[in-house]
Chains A and B, each alone.
Chain A
Amino acid sequence: MKRLAMPLLLVLALLLAACQPGSQPSASKPADAKPADGQPPPTSGQASAAASKPADAKPAEASKPAEPAKPAAQASGPLVFLSSQFKPVEEAEKMRGTILKGAPVPVDFIPEDPGPFNDRISAEQQTQKVTISLIGGLHGDFAPMVEKKQLEDLTPLASKLNDRGFPAPFVELSRFGQQGKTYYVPWMQATYVLAVNKKALQHLPQGADVNALTYKQLAEWGANIQKATNQRKVGFPGGPKGLIHRFFQGYLYPSYTGSSGVVGFKTPEAVTMWQEFKAIWEVSNPQSANYEFMQEPLLGDEVWVAWDHTARLINAVKEKPDDYVLVPAPAGPKGRGFMPVITGLAIPTGAPNRAGAEQTIEYLTQPQQQVATLRELAFFPSTNAQIPADLPPGIRLEADAVQKQATAKDAMPSLLPIGLGAKNGELNKVYLDTFQRIVLKGEQIQPVLDEQAKILQGILDETKAGCWAPDPPSDGPCKVK
């Protein structure tokens, strides 16, 4: 038995070496491990944070060459640009390799998930050791920072950039209700639409206009497709990194209840809404509970009709522009709810390289960069940048759909939840849990809504978040009716 001793020792050494670190990195990237539906691992945000770190430095380095780096002379190293957008490796590389390539100062672009993004900013602010000079985030990301006075006032810069032609509602939002202040400069915008494989068009219900669908028609359409192909081909991004909660918050709830998902959360209209959504789910690909970016199942022909963020549909329409049409999201009894996503650029208090950050903001809001962002990342200009005619057909499809959706007669814009700060995730969880219990597990609708409403109200009371559009502003925390 002695001869087993050596291997055993080796094995133990192996165990010690492998087990410890093995459990750590895994904790930092759980959901990454889950590709949409077993597609070969993912083009989208799947490399570990750790793996992407070393890569951070290089492109930024590479982007230096031609530029005179003088303005950054006072700060050491490249300007740190922390972003809650463009976390997927592919997108981050486009940001570094293309869009920031000609930046006036060398920029180290660091995209993060919401957790580390917020942590890093507040940690730096609390310790007064600020290394970040520029923050790119959603309107909702900035709300808690404004409250904690973690952002510089950018009014002089904003007036300097007046010629960019930012839409008035965006400028209004960037003030966070404080006259004479500007906390971010609009960066880019996006929204969610329906992508439709042309093969599905022949199964449209009688009398339905694909550019003005209703949710009832969507259910019928899915049923027709199922009858014809024996497959369920409607799709939603319901996986761990999917954005289906935005569908409930900004699309279904406003369309059925005429309010954001808060005020109308458990009304009789909401019950009808969940009933009708169950009918849509029944004709949806069951993998919808795992999908993250709908472009993948669209290209894989698993799904013919898919709702998702424009940036998460773009690869499909870019690759095969002739196969797809992009159309506005369906409407419900109260209108065509949709959610414009507004992102901005802000400078944290005490930024080490404020001048460089301002130059980078100027640079990123220039028409060339706005159009490049549209071309590469499918985020639409937040300025009056002329959309050139030579855009790739896929992008033009999206631009058309976005415009049609925003200008539809019954359009009902609904903002991303505002003022929830760190509780944003918990708010989303309310909708996801409600969806899972009602739709996936088939529980009774009203009791689930009543229970979840209590949790929802608790979150709003704790954060004292007021109502947001389409609901009128409230005195004090928004109340579930």
Chain B
Amino acid sequence: MQGQVAESVVGVAPVARARRRELAPYGLLVPTIVFMAAFFVWPMLQALVLAFQDSGGALSLEPIRRMAIDPKFLEAVRNTVLLTLVVVPAQVVLALIMSLVLMSGIRGAGLFLYAWAIPLGISDLAAGLVWLSIFTDRGYLNSVLVTLGLSETGFSFLSYEHPVSIFLCVAIAETWRATALVMVILLAGLQVIPKEYAEAAEVFGATTWQRIRHVTLPLLRPSLQVALIIRTILAFQAFAVVIALAAYNLPVLAGETYRWYGDLRNPNVAAAYALVIMLFSLLNTGIYLRALRTRDEQVGIT
């Protein structure tokens, strides 16, 4: 429509310009699309094919079968799902508290932000090693326990004999490592919520809790959605922290994928594992998108 109007009023040359302007965004998108296609879509399709090939390259369900009969497979699925169920909600709650504290305008909020964001700057393997030095047999935690006389020789937190404590150690380390990411997303979301809503609620005598529950949280929904999707997908890919703390004592899907590809030299079974991770991620993203569906007009931002 606009093009037509422009044509009738101004003539032919500007039409070309207008069309060029319409095409410009696509031109700008091309590098991204090429990049994504070359480095994400194409490898993903290759991996998909790999998962259904035997070692000779013929189509086969062998990799899937091999994965399914592997004693570590169900364990890895269980651990990954449990880890996600424990870590993600903990992170969202913590991050929400942290960002609300930052937004409350207390003194030194900037300092808190820097301190809380430190884990963002640390590679996940380094984070794993930091926690390893805490939880290991002669680590900081055991030194403290022994010094305080709470334990004689310390507790083997990471021994295969204590699967629950391995799991908790990994969950704590993962929570520490990635809560900051959720916080940054939620904080950004909180900052764009107009103050007027909260002020209006206050005028009507809403308590702090009521304001958070009925004003802030609903308006924060898009940010929560993004944070949940990103964190859940990343949780399914948990790898370095688990490897650092538990090695293969706590099999997880990403760890098994790596193991099959790297140590066991079987890219087909590795691709099958990767496929499972992808399916889980897709499934979850779908659930979140449905469950936290937002009406743009209700929120006022898109």
Number of interface residues of A (CB under 8 A): 54
In the bound complex, residues from chain B placing their C-beta under 8 Å from that of A30 are 239-240, 243, 255, 258, 262
Q: Contacts A37-B137, A289-B249 hold; do A15 and B263 have CB atoms under 8 A apart?
A: no
In the bound complex, residues from chain A placing their C-beta under 8 Å from that of B72 are 433
Within 8 Å of chain B (Cβ to Cβ): is A19?
yes
Please measure, in the bound complex, the distance between the C-alpha atom of A11 and the C-alpha atom of B128, giving whole angstroms. Answer: 21
Within 8 Å of chain B (Cβ to Cβ): is A290?
yes
In the bound complex, residues from chain A placing their C-beta under 8 Å from that of B181 are 15
Return the contact of B120 from the options A4, A19, A38, A455 (Cβ within 8 A): A19
- Complex interface bits, B170-212 against A, C-beta within 8 A gives 1, otherwise 0: 0000000000110010011001000000000000000000000
Q: Is there an interface contact between B258 and A1, defined as CB atoms closer than 8 Å?
A: no
Return the contact of A33 from the options B69, B244, B262 (Cβ within 8 A): B244
In the bound complex, residues from chain A placing their C-beta under 8 Å from that of B33 are none
Q: Is there an interface contact between A8 and B125, defined as CB atoms closer than 8 Å?
A: no
Q: Is there an interface contact between B160 and A286, defined as CB atoms closer than 8 Å?
A: yes
The residue of chain A having its C-beta at the shortest distance from the C-beta of B160 within the complex is A289
Please measure, in the bound complex, the distance between the C-alpha atom of A118 and the C-alpha atom of B70, giving whole angstroms. Answer: 25
In the bound complex, residues from chain A placing their C-beta under 8 Å from that of B263 are 114-115, 425
In the bound complex, residues from chain A placing their C-beta under 8 Å from that of B255 are 30
- Complex interface bits, B104-122 against A, C-beta within 8 A gives 1, otherwise 0: 0100011001100100111
Within 8 Å of chain A (Cβ to Cβ): is B132?
yes
- Complex interface bits, B58-87 against A, C-beta within 8 A gives 1, otherwise 0: 000000001001111000000000000000
Q: Is there an interface contact between B159 and A4, defined as CB atoms closer than 8 Å?
A: no
The residue of chain A having its C-beta at the shortest distance from the C-beta of B184 within the complex is A11
Please measure, in the bound complex, the distance between the C-alpha atom of A290 and the C-alpha atom of B159, giving whole angstroms. Answer: 8
Q: Is there an interface contact between B123 and A38, defined as CB atoms closer than 8 Å?
A: no
In the bound complex, residues from chain A placing their C-beta under 8 Å from that of B139 are 38
Q: Contacts A31-B247, A38-B138 hold; do A4 and B124 have CB atoms under 8 A apart?
A: no
Q: Which of B122, B160, B258 counts the most chain A CB atoms within 10 A?
A: B160
Q: Is there an interface contact between B136 and A462, defined as CB atoms closer than 8 Å?
A: no
Within 8 Å of chain A (Cβ to Cβ): is B297?
no
A window 1-29: CB within 8 A of B: 1, 3-5, 7-8, 11-12, 14-15, 17-19, 21-23, 25-27, 29
Q: Is there an interface contact between B240 and A38, defined as CB atoms closer than 8 Å?
A: no
Q: Is there an interface contact between A22 and B125, defined as CB atoms closer than 8 Å?
A: yes
Please measure, in the bound complex, the distance between the C-alpha atom of A15 and the C-alpha atom of B123, giving whole angstroms. Answer: 10
Please measure, in the bound complex, the distance between the C-alpha atom of A439 and the C-alpha atom of B160, giving whole angstroms. Answer: 11
Return the contact of A21 from the options B122, B123, B136, B249 (Cβ within 8 A): B123
Q: Is there an interface contact between B125 and A426, defined as CB atoms closer than 8 Å?
A: no
In the bound complex, residues from chain B placing their C-beta under 8 Å from that of A436 are 71
Within 8 Å of chain B (Cβ to Cβ): is A278?
no
Q: Which of A3, A8, A12 counts the most chain B CB atoms within 10 A?
A: A8
Please measure, in the bound complex, the distance between the C-alpha atom of A35 and the C-alpha atom of B244, giving whole angstroms. Answer: 9
Within 8 Å of chain A (Cβ to Cβ): is B294?
no
Q: Is there an interface contact between A425 and B265, defined as CB atoms closer than 8 Å?
A: yes
Size class of the B contact interface (CB-based, 8 Å):
35 or more
The residue of chain B having its C-beta at the shortest distance from the C-beta of A39 within the complex is B138
Return the contact of A37 from the options B136, B244, B266 (Cβ within 8 A): B136
The residue of chain B having its C-beta at the shortest distance from the C-beta of A452 within the complex is B71
In the bound complex, residues from chain A placing their C-beta under 8 Å from that of B247 are 31, 34, 239-240, 290
In the bound complex, residues from chain B placing their C-beta under 8 Å from that of A451 are 69, 71
Q: Is there an interface contact between B137 and A26, defined as CB atoms closer than 8 Å?
A: no
Please measure, in the bound complex, the distance between the C-alpha atom of A451 and the C-alpha atom of B73, giving whole angstroms. Answer: 14
Return the contact of B184 from the options A5, A15, A26 (Cβ within 8 A): A15
Within 8 Å of chain A (Cβ to Cβ): is B288?
no
In the bound complex, residues from chain B placing their C-beta under 8 Å from that of A113 are 262
Please measure, in the bound complex, the distance between the C-alpha atom of A39 and the C-alpha atom of B139, giving whole angstroms. Answer: 9
Q: Is there an interface contact between A23 and B124, defined as CB atoms closer than 8 Å?
A: yes
In the bound complex, residues from chain B placing their C-beta under 8 Å from that of A4 are 102-103, 109-110, 113, 187, 191
Q: Is there an interface contact between A7 and B113, defined as CB atoms closer than 8 Å?
A: yes
Please measure, in the bound complex, the distance between the C-alpha atom of A423 and the C-alpha atom of B291, giving whole angstroms. Answer: 45
Within 8 Å of chain B (Cβ to Cβ): is A440?
yes
Least Cβ–Cβ distance between B143 and chain A, in angstroms: 11
- Complex interface bits, B140-168 against A, C-beta within 8 A gives 1, otherwise 0: 00000000000000001011110000000
Within 8 Å of chain A (Cβ to Cβ): is B215?
no
Least Cβ–Cβ distance between A98 and chain B, in angstroms: 30
Return the contact of B188 from the options A8, A25, A26, A286 (Cβ within 8 A): A8
Q: Is there an interface contact between A423 and B265, defined as CB atoms closer than 8 Å?
A: yes
Known contacts A11-B120, A33-B125, A38-B138; 13 further A-B pairs (Cβ under 8 A): A14-B121, A15-B117, A22-B125, A26-B123, A30-B243, A33-B240, A35-B132, A37-B137, A38-B158, A113-B262, A286-B160, A424-B265, A455-B70
A to B CB contacts below 8 Å, 25 in the list: A1-B191, A4-B103, A7-B117, A8-B187, A8-B191, A11-B117, A12-B184, A14-B120, A22-B123, A23-B239, A25-B125, A26-B124, A33-B128, A33-B240, A35-B132, A37-B137, A38-B139, A286-B156, A287-B137, A287-B156, A290-B159, A422-B265, A426-B265, A433-B70, A451-B71
